Each structure stands twice: as C-alpha cells, then as structure tokens.
C-alpha cells in the first residue's frame, strides 16, 4: 500500500478521488441547502394562502359557531383559535407583514411575543442523503389577528411534523455505490495517465541493459508520441556514439598490435638479458592494457543475445575453469534459479572478480544463495583488504590502490570496471566490503528471471 501511494499512479488516483469527492460533496451540499430553502419558501407561501382563506371563512361564520368550525377546519401546520384577549405583541415578522397585506384593510395582524412550543422541537431537515441535518428555517410563530367585526383570533404557524426524507429510507447503499463508482473512475484515469510514463521508464531501464533494443511504438496522445520519438532519437544517437567509440578503440588496438609486435621482435636481439626482461615486461603490460581497454569498451556495447541461464551451472563452469588453471577456488551453496543474461559477458564478469581475488588475496571462496528474489554471489579472498576511503574508487577505470595489493600483482585497473558494467547491464549490482574476519568480499546481485512475466 505504501509503495502504491508513493507511485505516480497512486498519487494521481488519490488526487482525483479526493478532488471528485470534495467537489461532489460541496455540490451536493449546496444543492440540498438550496432545495430545502426553496421548499421552506414554497411552504410559507402555501401557509399564507391557507391562512388567508381560513381567516376570511371564519369571519363569515357566526361568532357562536366559530370555535366548532375551527376545530373542523384546522389542518396540520396552521391552527386558528378564537381568543378572548390579545396577548402581548412583539416585533412584526415578514410572515405577519405579508399576511396583513393579503388580508387588506379592516384586518389587523401583529406578531405575538411568544412562539408555539412546537417551534422549539421542530424536526431538523436532512442534507447529504441524511448524513447532515439543518434546522428548519421556515415560518414558525404566533400571530394576533383582529377581524373587521372586532373579534380576536390567535393564528399559530407550526413547523412540519416530519422531515422531507422519510426515516425509513436507507441511502447508505446509494452513497456507497457513488463512492465506488468515483474510485473506479479515478483509478482508471490514473492508470491511463501514468501508463505511458511507466512505458518510458521501462524503456529507459531496458536501454541500460540493451542499447540495441527495439524502438518505442509511436502511439497514444500527441505529447506521448513526441516524448517517444525523442527517446528513440536519443537511443539512436547513443548507439551511434558507442559504436563509433568501439570502432575507434578497435582500430587503435589493431594498429598498435603491429608496432608492438615489431618492438617485441627487436627486443629479442637485446644482449643485456636483465634489460631485455624488463623491457619485454613493460611491453607486455602495454599490450594487456590495450586489450583490456578494448574489452572495457565492448562491455558497454555488446551484440550478444540475452538468454535464460542456469546460474548454478554457470558458476560451476567458471570455478572449474579457474581450478583447471591452477587457481585456488572453492564454491559452496546453490541459488536454484534462472536468470536472463549474456553467457560470455557473465563469464567475463565472474572471471574478473575471481581473478582479482586469487591475484590479490591468494584464494577465492565463492558462496551463492538466494535472497529477496535475487541471486547473491559472494567472492571472498584472504588478502589485506582495501582501505574504506578507497572502496568507492576501485571501480574507476585504470584506478589501482596504491599498495602492494596492486603494485606487486600488476593489472591495469579495468577488471572491476568491466565487471560492474556487465552487472549493471543485467539489472544487477556489485559492491565491495572488507570482511570482519579479514580479506575483501565482493557481492554480486543478479535478478531472477520470470519467463511468464
């Protein structure tokens, strides 16, 4: 869940969901409020008409029969009673003013100082499908009415006895359906919005592993097509740059081989044997540096096809070759997993690390296991280790630690650089650490291959 909320899809989904819910809530709240107020005004208008009709009808009824008539004529919401004396009056209300205007001359309408008891217990009106309640805001008061024949009446305007929405109505299912539909819509929009970015991100990751991958299809919205076209153009330029660099290094290496060979032949004629051995050693180092420089360039641009490999079999073959070459190499553990990779590149990566361990630490103890869906290959030697300040720099091309670890054993400083490039092209990583019990430990992490993914 945390990963989903931290992703772009999750953030777009939450933003859309909250935005739509807040907008819908405010819109529904405003609509319900306006609907209730309109209903209250319509009810007040209806009560004015009924009050006018009831008062005028009561006036033509003989005074002795008015009480009996009112007992029959009164209806919920409006009660008219014969009053023996006028109670104290208060400030005239809008309802009283409108009723006085409708009755015309000869009638006197005044607001009473006290309200009916029912006004204090008026039923609140529901908002937002009954989730909120609003106090009744229509007319609710007592009026003193003086007829043209001098009779005094008491008019009580009462609130509605029930709410607009019946208490038996359960709208929770409707609200739940609304929220689910909004959530589904927000998720679909989020997926549709972020899918092209995921495709670009996956293409960028695949580009780091295979510069010769197929270009992106120019589909989708115009902005996405434009970004895909720019990505394809960038890939083509990078591929061209790497190809030109590799070709240049290959040409330099090829051209250097001839003069270096001639120099070696001429050095055979040097009479001073000690000088001859030293010069031949320097010449061999130059040839090795040229060859490894070309290998470094090719490690960042390979045309070898990716294929499913059994890591355990690959490790057994590499360790067996090293043992046959006289190196002290042991292998323990099993990963029991497949990975997608280039066999020659992975053999070169593992071979470089094992060669370094044997060359600088006398032995290579290889341990393989499986952790968090990835293979972990650890190669430990028995050497002096590397100072912590140098651990991050040994991956730099041509960098060698200024100790006997590299000075006495030679080397060009490209082995670990090549191994790191190969590991990263396979979606893995390689790290160095000084083991607590002594020696240097190299950890190579490689992801598992899922054929149906």
**pLDDT tens string 329-381:** 999 999 888 888 888 889 988 998 999 888 888 899 999 999 888 899 999 99
Alpha-carbon distance values, 67 to 70, 73, 80, 239, 407 (Å)? 5, 10, 9, 104, 123
pLDDT digits (tens, 9 = 90+) for 194-210: 888 888 888 887 776 66
Distance CA 253, CA 375 (A): 36
Residue 55, burial from CB neighbour count under 10 angstroms (0-12, 13-18, 19+): buried
CA-based angle 188:173:162, to the nearest 5?
140
Fold of the 305-447 domain: Heat Shock Protein 90 (3.30.565)
How many separate helices (H) and strands (E) can be counted in the chain? 11, 13
Nearest partner of 435 among 365, 372, 332, judged by Cα: 365
First to last CA, the chain: 22
Domain map of the chain by residue range?
2-172, 210-303, 305-447
Domains 210-303 and 305-447 share a fold: no
Q: Give CB contacts under 8 A, 24+ apart, made by 234-241.
A: 235/207, 235/211, 238/207, 238/211, 239/211, 239/212, 239/301
- Token look-up 């009755």 returns 103
pLDDT in tens, the chain (453 residues): 677 767 777 778 888 888 888 888 888 888 888 888 898 899 999 999 999 999 999 989 998 898 899 988 888 889 998 887 666 777 788 999 999 999 988 898 888 888 888 888 877 777 766 677 788 888 899 999 888 888 889 999 988 877 655 555 566 677 788 888 888 888 888 888 888 888 888 888 777 666 777 888 888 777 788 888 888 888 888 878 777 777 777 777 777 777 877 887 878 777 788 888 888 877 887 777 777 666 666 655 555 677 888 989 999 999 999 998 888 999 999 988 888 888 888 998 899 899 988 888 889 999 999 988 889 999 999 888 888 878 777 877 766 665 444 444 555 567 788 888 888 888 888 999 888 888 889 999 998 877 655
- Token look-up 């079999």 returns 313
Distance CA 53, CA 12 (A): 61
Fold of the 210-303 domain: Helix Hairpins (1.10.287)
């Amino acid at each position: 869940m945390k990963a989903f909320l931290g992703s772009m899809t999750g953030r777009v989904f939450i933003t859309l969901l909250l935005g739509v819910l807040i907008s819908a809530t405010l819109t529904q709240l405003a609509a319900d409020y306006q609907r209730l107020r309109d209903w209250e005004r319509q009810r007040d208008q209806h009560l004015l008409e009924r009050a006018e009709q009831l008062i005028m009808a009561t006036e033509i009824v003989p005074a002795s029969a008015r009480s009996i008539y009112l007992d029959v004529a009164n209806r919920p919401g409006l009660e008219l009673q014969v009053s023996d004396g006028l109670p104290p009056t208060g400030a005239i209300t809008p309802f009283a003013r409108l009723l006085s205007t409708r009755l015309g001359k000869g009638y006197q309408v005044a607001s009473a100082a006290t309200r009916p008891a029912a006004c204090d217990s008026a039923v609140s009106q529901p908002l937002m499908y009954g989730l909120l309640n609003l106090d009744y805001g229509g007319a609710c008061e007592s009026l003193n009415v003086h007829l043209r024949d001098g009779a005094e009446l008491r008019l009580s305007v009462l609130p509605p006895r029930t709410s607009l929405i019946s208490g038996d109505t359960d709208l929770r299912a409707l609200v739940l359906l609304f929220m689910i539909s909004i959530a589904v819509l927000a998720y679909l929009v989020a997926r549709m919005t972020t899918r092209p970015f995921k495709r670009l991100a996956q293409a960028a990751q695949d580009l780091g592993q295979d510069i010769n991958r197929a270009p992106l299809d120019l589909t989708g919205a115009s902005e996405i097509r434009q970004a895909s076209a720019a990505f394809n153009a960038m890939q083509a330029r990078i591929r061209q740059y790497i190809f030109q660099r590799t070709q240049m290094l290959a040409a330099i290496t090829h051209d250097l081989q001839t003069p270096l060979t001639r120099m070696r032949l001429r050095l055979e004629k040097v009479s001073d044997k000690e000088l001859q051995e030293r010069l031949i050693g320097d010449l061999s180092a130059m040839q090795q540096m040229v060859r490894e420089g070309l290998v470094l360039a090719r490690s960042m641009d390979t045309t070898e096809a990716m294929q499913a490999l059994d890591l355990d079999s690959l490790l057994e073959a590499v360790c067996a070759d090293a043992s046959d070459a006289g190196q002290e190499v042991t292998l323990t553990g099993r990963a029991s997993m497949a990975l997608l990779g280039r066999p020659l590149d992975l053999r070169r990566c593992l071979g470089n690390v094992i060669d370094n361990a044997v060359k600088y630490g006398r032995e290579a103890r290889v341990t393989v296991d499986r952790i968090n869906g990835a293979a972990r290959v650890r190669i430990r030697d028995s050497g002096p280790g590397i100072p912590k300040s140098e651990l991050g720099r040994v991956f730099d091309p041509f960098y060698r630690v200024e100790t006997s670890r590299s000075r006495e054993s030679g080397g060009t400083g490209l082995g670990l650089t090549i191994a790191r490039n190969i590991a990263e092209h396979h979606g893995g990583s390689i790290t160095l650490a000084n083991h607590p019990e002594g020696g240097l430990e190299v950890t190579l992490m490689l992801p598992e291959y899922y054929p149906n993914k």
